[in-house]
Amino acid sequence: MTTALLHRTLIKLAITIAFTKMIVVANGQVTGSMPLDLAIDSRSAALGGKIVADLKSDGHAAAYNPALVDSADVGTIHTSYLKYYAAIQIGAIDAVIKTGAKYTIHAGARFASFGKFSGYDNSGWPTGDFSGGDYLIQTGITWKLDDVWSVGTTAWGGFRNLARENAGVLGIDAAAMGSWPNRHFSAGFLLSGLGRQFGGTGSQPIGSMPVNFQIGCVKGFANAPFQLYVKAQNLENWKLAPQGIYDDGIDPLTGEIIQNTTWEFGDQFVRHLSAGVEIQLGSGLAAQIGYDHRRRTEMVSMGRKGTNGFSMGVNLRIGKTDLGIARNTYHFAGSSTHLSIAIALPG
């Protein structure tokens, strides 16, 4: 009874801290970081974004969700690469480095490289090329509280630069997940990007990093080869729609007011949601399809949505090696490719 009470207390404490921190970071936010904001690995990207809960461990997703770290991944290096837009490249690497009876420690890195740019002074005279990016190292620990609940936290830190502009960043990701295998069900929460940017050289701002509080669940079936993933994200901010989107319009010819009939509550609600499905196609082969409603709604070009918000991917396991590829449409301008590979080290 004492152990069960302790577990419930720890979970309540984690949730309380999460909500308290969300209030703190609401003021003085700085620009977000791509390695912290995006799901870099192929499986997560194909399922519509970061995975909050799962029916199995995922060493790739463990780079951002410490609750998905598992001691069985000892000796395996998980790497992911995202070819974003233009010359932007994003990557992640993570590996379990130590395990105990109730804990697992992992370490790795995340980065984004923005490519090279041509510099000019005020008179237009070339000053040479320069580069920029975000570079982070991280380490974290996951505790197995009992047969159902796991909690974890990952601390990350590094620097951001663009030419002579430099700034440091420090922060954590925190997560908790409950899994009920006999019901083919799992649920949890994930707090991403809880950190702060501090001063360096140049005129970089100082303040809190953008936080993303997410809750999600996954449901599998005993006699069906697929699982359903549902997630609510950015719960720290209810109003995700751009300002003025629910205002009435004016007819440019008659001057009459055109009433906006959008259901504000419903529209705000679905902007928080994303979903995905993973289908088992055979031994070691799975396909994923995902959908992010906010991305589809906001990433529009000249009224055209195309496949914005949709994603798809496939994962293949050959021996002890996992390969994954996904295509995710972040904007009408084109799709981005995610690549993931997990390699078991010899010995």
Report d(CA 293, CA 271) in Å as an integer: 6
Whether the CB-CB separation of 157 and 82 falls below 8 Å is answered with: no
| Locus of tokens 């309380």 | 16
Alpha helical stretches, state H, the chain? 2-24, 34-37, 42-46, 264-270, 293-298
Neighbours of 26 (CB within 10 A): 12
In the structure encoding, which two tokens stand for residue 66, read together? 């410490």
Contact 71, 313 (CB under 8 A): no
DSSP track, 164-213: TEEEEEEEEEEEEEEEEGGGTEEEEEEEEEEEEEE--SSS---EEPPPEE
Structure tokens at 91: 């990557």
Taking the C-alpha atoms of residue 328 and residue 262, their distance in angstroms, rounded to an integer, is 28
Are 325 and 342 in contact, with CB atoms under 8 Å apart? no
3-state secondary structure of 106: strand
How far, in Å, CA of 154 to CA of 212, rounded? 15
Reduced to 3 states (helix: H, G, I; strand: E, B; else coil), residue 291 is strand
CB 164 within 8 A of CB 202: yes
How far apart CA 227 and CA 33 sit, in angstroms, is 30
In whole angstroms, give the CA distance from residue 169 to residue 158: 5
Give me the pLDDT at residue 12, please: 44
Q: What is the pLDDT of residue 146?
A: 92
Q: pLDDT (tens digit, 0 to 9) for every residue of the chain, 347 residues total? A: 444 544 454 444 444 344 334 333 334 568 889 999 999 999 999 999 999 999 998 999 999 999 999 988 898 999 999 998 778 899 999 999 999 989 999 999 999 998 887 877 787 788 778 788 999 999 999 999 999 999 999 999 999 988 888 899 999 999 999 999 999 999 999 999 999 998 877 777 889 999 999 999 999 999 999 999 999 999 999 999 888 888 888 878 887 888 888 899 999 999 999 999 999 998 889 999 999 998 888 877 666 677 788 999 999 998 888 999 999 887 766 788 999 999 988 76
216 within 8 A of 230, measured Cβ to Cβ = yes
Burial 284-306 (b: 16+ CB within 10 A, else e): eebbbbbbbbbbbbbbeeeeebb
Q: Which domains does the chain have, with CATH numbers?
A: 2-235+272-344 (2.40.160.40)
pLDDT at 118: 80
* Reported pTM: 0.84
